[in-house]
């Protein structure tokens, strides 16, 4: 019984570890996918930028491993997240903000009613 309990505990720990890896990978995939789409929509976007190409490559590797639930590869790719974040920051710095503010300081397209509700709730 002790042997079975130890085996069960090891399987539970492995399952928990794999689940955590998968959750992190899915979260990062979602985040990087959104950033990639934002870059593509930006007026100053350059699809031939080497940093962008590398970001997309790393994203696709992580996404593929996540979809296949290939835990050893997911773990390897999660070690590259810092590199991906650095690439995102470098790309973002190359593309000035498209957000324009009106005379009252609101970002264009921002719903003033939403701001009133938010600030009203703060009072």
For the chain, what are the domain ranges?
A: 8-94
DSSP secondary-structure letter at 69?
T
Helices (H), the chain: 2-41, 50-68, 71-78, 81-94, 112-122
* Res. 4: pLDDT tops 90: no
Q: Give pLDDT, residue 99.
A: 52
Q: Please give the C-alpha separations between residue 82 and each of 65, 85, 106, in angstroms, as whole numbers.
A: 17, 5, 33
What pLDDT is recorded for position 118?
32
Integer Cα distance of 3 and 5 in angstroms: 5
């Amino acid at each position: 019984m002790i042997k079975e309990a130890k085996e069960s505990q090891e399987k539970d720990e492995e399952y928990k570890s794999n689940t955590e890896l998968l959750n992190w990978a899915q979260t990062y995939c979602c985040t990087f996918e959104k950033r990639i789409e934002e870059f593509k929509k930006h007026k100053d976007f350059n699809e031939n930028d080497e940093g962008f190409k590398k970001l997309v490559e790393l994203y696709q590797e992580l996404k593929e491993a996540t979809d296949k639930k290939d835990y050893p590869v997911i773990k390897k790719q999660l070690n590259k997240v810092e590199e991906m974040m650095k690439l995102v920051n470098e790309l973002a710095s190359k593309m000035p903000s498209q957000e324009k503010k009106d005379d009252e300081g609101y970002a264009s397209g921002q719903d003033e009613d939403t701001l009133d509700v938010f600030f009203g709730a703060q009072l």
